[in-house]
Amino acid sequence: MKYYSTNHQVAPATLKEAVLKGLAADNGLYMPERINPLPSSFFKKLPSMSMAEIGFEVASFLFEQEIPSDILKKICEESFNFEIPLVRISEQIYSLELFHGPTLAFKDVGARFMSRLMSYFNEGNSRELFVLAATSGDTGSAVAAGFYNVKGIRVILLYPKGKVSKIQEQQLTTFGGNITALEVEGVFDDCQRLVKQAFLDEELNKKMTLTSANSINLARFIPQSFYYFYAFGQLNQPNKEIIFSVPSGNFGNLTAGVMAWKLGLPVKKFIAATNINDIVPEYIRTGEYHPRPSIKTIANAMDVGNPNNFPRLQELFDKSYSAFCEKILGFRQTDDEIRKTMRQLYQEHRYIVDPHGAIGYAALKKYLQSPYEIGIFLETAHPAKFYDEVEKTLGFHFDLPENLKVYLQKEKKAIPMSASFDDFKSYLQSL
């Protein structure tokens, strides 16, 4: 299998090249040259398969023996060793809880798989590998945990000052060791821009080996497709039509879902559920794609004004606007609407949801129409990661999980950084 750039200006790459480069030399994102449906026998056995078993089969199918089976199996077993339960909320709505990993966010799935894949491909490399990751909150902690103390790899995390939750900041700034956090004067889009510019800078790339840990990197978004199959297997209702509601910021999660559909997963619709940074819902509504500066919201992981993975989504639909809109619905909520949904969900079902999952739930409430439909929303982070907002909205105190309390007791270590690429480049050159 080869991997082509969405900008189509460079030669296709091998899996190793795509993973270790992160971003193609023409500023495009890597995509598999072929996405064929998985065999029907795979779907029949899904209800009895573990997440690790699903990951191994899907990755084996996509990677086409580019990684020895025993190595790939071990990577999957180590990466997906935590629960991802499908929780029934009502007769037609389920929550896929993706927050049971070490940092209590869905990004543990992709980050753990990616770190092990990179470590395998980087074996024997005499040059240190520098992993750059822009984060609007949860990517930073998941990447830090996934790569912590991995030999031969250093991680640089860029996050926007004052625009992540206190717990998120403590998670991504307290690891130390081979993990460094840069506190950027700007918004998430500035952090993302700095990372992309670094990959395209010839002088930097001659001096150091750079790669990405954002969903820019296909090693991050491909494993996220695995839990769509896992959810389908847990549901085990083949006669129902499934709608996935996906809280979306950079759109790696939705891209992974659409890829699962292209691989044969029977999905009726996807919903791109956003906060007021609604660039993709606006595109669905108007046919116009207008990136713009992001606006801070209480669903901060989705505060993205120029989604990285939009070109991948376009590729998956052969750049057809009508095909895109046929499969994907758009939805957005304001902060006040998010809070109202959080209260409603707790009052009616005694289910505590974080701000991102709340948007996903509200989208299903709007779009579910037929009794033959089942809606699954992705609950992307533990509510405790947004403790202040959840407590204020619901009006009561709840205990933090022990593995979050640990981070609050540690000392924040972050290096201040301007949004200037020259300053960021100078910092990297000093390492």
Q: What is the CATH number of the domain that holds 392?
A: 3.40.50.1100
Q: What is the pLDDT, as a whole number, of residue 398? A: 84
Say whether 268 is catalytic.
Answer: no
Q: What is the pLDDT, as a whole number, of residue 186? A: 94
Q: Give pLDDT tens digits for 263-305.
A: 999 999 999 999 999 999 999 999 999 999 999 999 998 999 9
- Find the domain containing 373 and state its range: 82-104+221-400
Q: What is the pLDDT, as a whole number, of residue 232? A: 97
Residue 162 lies in a domain: no
Q: What is the pLDDT, as a whole number, of residue 214? A: 80
Q: Quote the number of domains for the chain.
A: 1
Tokens of 284: 């669905």
Residue 385 lies in a domain: yes
Angle at CA of residue 260, ends 374 and 10, nearest 5°: 150
Residue 184 lies in a domain: no
Residue 246 lies in a domain: yes
Residue 37 lies in a domain: no
Q: Which is the catalytic residue, given 107, 163, 269, 385?
A: 107
Q: Give pLDDT tens digits for 161-212.
A: 999 888 889 989 999 999 999 999 999 889 999 999 998 899 999 999 998 8
Q: What is the pLDDT, as a whole number, of residue 234? A: 97
The pTM for the full model equals: 0.92
Residue 357 lies in a domain: yes
SS3 track for the chain: CCEEECCCCCCCECHHHHHHHCECCCCCEEEECCCCCCCHHHHHCHHHCCHHHHHHHHHHHHHCCCCCHHHHHHHHHHHCCCCCCEEECCCCEEEEECCCCCCCECHHHHHHHHHHHHHHHHCCCCCCEEEEEECCCHHHHHHHHHHCCCCCEEEEEEEECCCCCHHHHHHHHCCCCCEEEEEECCCHHHHHHHHHHHHHCHHHHHHCEEEECCCCCHHHHCHHHHHHHHHHHHHCCCCCEEEEEEECCCCHHHHHHHHHHHCCCCCCEEEEEECCCCHHHHHHHHCCCCCCCCCCCCCHHHCCCCCCCHHHHHHHCCCCHHHHHHHEEEEECCHHHHHHHHHHHHHHHCCCCCHHHHHHHHHHHHHCCCCCEEEEEEECECHHHHHHHHHHHHCCCCCCCHHHHHHHCCCCCEEEECCCHHHHHHHHHCC
Residue 137 lies in a domain: no
Residue 240 lies in a domain: yes
List, for the chain, all residue ranges whose pLDDT scores fall below the cut of 70: none
